[in-house]
Structures are given as structure tokens and as C-alpha cells.
């Protein structure tokens, strides 16, 4: 740790960065960026944010696709983003199956802890951007702000919100989340 406080943002993958297919994204051919995502991530990169992808990929643990296939998708996504000037600082994936007991599957916070291990940052003013209740819960469990996007499961999630579980902001997509993140 250098003592320098970083600006950090946590972003879910499926339904936020890429189009949710209502099934697992098993290979790169199935991966489609959501509209405006390249510009959104570029703006965050340019503003100096450390961007961390935090994603549950239970399809690995459930035997639907391999961990190697998951990392292949990740690598090609990161390459494509890099071509657009986006730096992904890190990615944390939970590969445990849906019925496995682990300490990292969101809404648990182990993935977030691992992402920022050794990095000094201010939780106040840091956001988790996601499309599911488990994303909003994970952010709250970790003590950071939360932004719900309406892409992916977001519209469904919006209907499931309760008085006890409310994100700090609700926006149409990642691009619309950027002004809130930058203002933090
Ligand atoms: Mg998602
Ligand atoms: Zn896990």
C-alpha cells in the first residue's frame, strides 16, 4: 500500500457490462456489451477509478461451463475494453455452485474484500453497480453505496425492492450511473 487513497468502483458483469441472456454466457461468441458501456468505462478509467468486476459465475461450479471458459471470456472482454482505452484493475468471480456453501457468492462480501485487498480507499463515496438484489445487498453488506441499473434483471429487481433494501440510485444503465459515481 502506498498510502495514496484510490478511487474505486465495483461493477457486476452480466446484465450490467454485457447483455444478460437469461442463461450463462458460456463463451465469447455469446458476449455482447450493453449499450454505452465502452464509453462509461472509459469515462471511469479517465477519471482515475480502479474498476473491479465482481461476478457470481455459479455455472462453473454447477458444471455448465469450465473455469477456463470463464477466464477466456474475461480475457477477451478485457482485451476489447483495452482497445477502447479502458483499464480493468481486477476481477473477482465466485465459481461455486448455487447449492454450495461458500463465503464469496454475492450477497456475501468476500469478492469485494479480495478485490481491494491492500488498497486504501474511502468506502463512503464508493459504489457497487449491479442489476440484482444480491448486488445491492453485497454493496450494503460491504458498507459502500449502491446503484441499481435497469438493464439485465434490473427492471425485475426494481419491483422487488423493499423499504429495508433500497439502492442509493436507480438508473437506466451503466452509462447513466457514471455521473453519480464521478460525483462521489
Ligand atoms: Mg448481473
Ligand atoms: Zn463462492
List pLDDT tens digits, range 123-132.
998 999 999 9
Question: Within 13 Å of residue 46, how many CA atoms lie on the same side as its CB?
Answer: 9
If you measure from the C-alpha of residue 166 to the centroid of ligand 1, how many angstroms do you get, rounded to a whole number?
A: 17
What is the Å distance from ligand 1's center to 18 Cα?
9
Q: What's the pLDDT band for 3 if we cut at 50, 70, 90?
A: low
Distance 40 CA to ligand 1 centre (A): 17
In this predicted structure, the answer to whether residue 2 has a pLDDT above a threshold of 90 is no
Q: How far apart are CA 115 and CA 82, in angstroms?
A: 19
The rounded mean pLDDT for the chain is 96
Domain borders along the chain are 7-183
Q: What is the pLDDT of residues 77-86, one digit of tens each?
A: 999 999 999 9
Q: Report strand pairing: 49-56 vs 145-149.
A: unpaired
Ligand 1 centroid–CA 87 distance in Å is 20
Ligand that comes closest to the CA of residue 101: 2
User: Quick one: which ligand is closest to 133's CA?
Assistant: 1
Ligand nearest the Cα atom of residue 18 = 1
184 band by pLDDT with thresholds 50, 70 and 90: confident
On whether the pTM is more than 0.95, the answer is yes
Quick one: pLDDT band at residue 4, thresholds 50, 70, 90?
confident
Any idea which ligand is nearest the CA of 132? 1
Superfamily of domain 7-183: HAD superfamily/HAD-like (3.40.50.1000)
Amino acid at each position: 500500500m502506498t498510502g495514496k487513497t484510490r478511487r474505486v468502483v465495483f461493477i457486476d458483469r452480466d446484465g450490467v457490462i454485457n447483455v444478460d441472456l437469461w442463461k450463462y454466457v458460456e463463451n465469447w461468441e455469446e458476449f455482447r456489451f450493453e449499450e454505452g458501456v465502452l464509453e462509461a468505462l472509459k469515462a471511469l478509467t479517465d477519471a482515475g477509478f480502479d474498476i473491479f468486476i465482481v461476478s457470481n459465475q455459479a455455472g462453473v461450479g454447477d458444471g455448465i461451463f469450465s473455469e477456463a471458459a470463464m477466464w477466456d471470456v474475461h480475457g477477451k472482454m478485457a482485451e476489447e475494453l483495452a482497445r477502447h482505452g479502458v483499464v480493468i484493475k481486477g476481477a473477482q468471480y465466485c465459481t461455486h455452485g448455487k447449492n454450495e456453501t461458500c463465503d464469496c457468492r454475492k450477497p456475501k462480501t468476500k469478492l469485494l474484500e479480495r478485490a481491494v485487498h491492500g488498497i486504501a480507499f474511502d468506502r463512503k463515496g464508493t459504489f457497487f453497480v449491479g442489476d440484482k438484489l444480491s448486488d445491492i445487498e453485497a454493496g450494503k453488506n460491504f458498507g459502500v453505496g449502491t446503484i441499481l441499473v435497469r438493464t439485465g434483471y434490473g427492471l425485475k429487481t426494481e419491483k422487488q425492492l423493499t423499504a429495508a433494501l433500497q439502492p442509493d440510485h436507480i438508473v437506466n444503465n451503466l452509462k447513466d450511473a457514471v455521473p453519480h459515481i464521478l460525483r462521489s
